[in-house]
Amino acid sequence: MPDKMSTMKAKVNQSDMKEKMQQEAVNAVAQAIVTEDSAVAVATAIRKHFDAHFGPSWTCIVGRDFSSSFAYEKKKHISLEMGGQQILLFKSA
């Protein structure tokens, strides 16, 4: 029987990341959703993962309903849905 993480599907709404970084984001989101117990903990885990792998300063927002306006570095932005949550991840400009 497959584990929960392997059965999660991501719907990428918008991204300008290179394919490898985008896949890293999808994997980090799936891992955080499975292992963390709150939206804040999920966002923190994803941000820390990206800070460690791609340098600071990343911002991650997790929730079901939010609006946003922000500046980000080119090729460092993704918006996706997974596990009933909306995830916005970007490197601050």
Which whole number is the average pLDDT over 74-78?
97
pLDDT for residue 6 is more than 70: no
What is d(CA 23, CA 78) in angstroms, rounded to the nearest whole number?
10
pLDDT digits (tens, 9 = 90+) for 36-67: 999 999 999 999 999 999 999 999 999 998 88
pLDDT band for position 1 (50/70/90)?
very low
Distance of CA 65 to the CA centre of its chain: 15
What is d(CA 86, CA 63) in angstroms, rounded to the nearest whole number?
5
pLDDT for residue 12 is more than 90: yes
Domain holding 32, by residue range, is 4-92
pLDDT band for position 74 (50/70/90)?
very high
Q: What is the enclosing helix (H) or strand (E) of 11?
A: strand 11-15
Output the domain CATH number for residue 10: 3.30.740.10
State how many domains the chain has: 1
Give the Cβ contact number of residue 32 at 10 Å.
Answer: 26
Can you give the pTM of this predicted structure? 0.90
Residue 22 · residue 78 · CB < 8 Å: yes
Structure tokens at 1: 């029987």
The pLDDT value recorded for residue 3 is 57
Q: What percent of the chain has pLDDT over 70?
A: 92
